[in-house]
Amino acid sequence: MTNHVHLLMTASHVGRVAQLMQSLGRRYVRYVNDRYHRTGTLWEGRYKSCLVDGGEYLLRCCRYIELNPVRAGMVADPMDYRWSSHRANARGEPDLLVHPHACYLALAATEQGRCAAFRELVMSGVDAGETEAIRLTLQRQHALGNDRFRTAIERQLGRSVGPAKLGRPAKVKESAL
């Protein structure tokens, strides 16, 4: 995009996404500053991330990302956006940066079938509620998935990864002695 980047990644080991983002930030800032004779940071703040459950949630995120340049009015079809993975996933064009996720591979038994299924999924669109839910989840850095997924992640991390209940905790009635 013109002012931000979406990356959907599966880490091979714990902490690898953070290491990649740190390295990318350092190298890219140095490259841009050297090339354009400037100094300072390029990014407004640190990157935002959220854990994404596999299956339908991962595919929803793919669709959201692929349709981002369409929503922004940059292109009419995600196939036309140069920096998208859509041509790799929906047409089967080779892309060294795109490695098919198990959820993508499960769409169909053949590459042609997967491409057609993925294209159909993306072109079915994202409704405004789903778009807002994905944005809000990312902004708050919550886990995107069902309750079982969030509960499992919370157990592993020992902290909340989902939205908290709004309002004050309910008052506990004291029992008369």
The answer to the question of residue 2 being in a domain is no
Same domain, residue pair 54 and 124: yes
The pTM is what? 0.82
**pLDDT over 60 (residue 177):** no
Same domain, residue pair 40 and 57: no
Same domain, residue pair 149 and 68: yes
**pLDDT over 60 (residue 121):** yes
Domain of residue 111, residue span = 48-157
* Range with the poorest average pLDDT among 1-5, 9-13, 21-25, 167-171: 167-171
| CB-based contact 104:33 (threshold 8 Å) | no
Instruction: Give SS3 for 19.
Output: helix
- Domain count for the chain, please give it: 2
| CB-based contact 144:50 (threshold 8 Å) | yes
The answer to the question of residue 177 being in a domain is no
More confident of the two residues 22 and 108? 108
| Mean pLDDT value across residues 45-74 | 92
Same domain, residue pair 64 and 122: yes
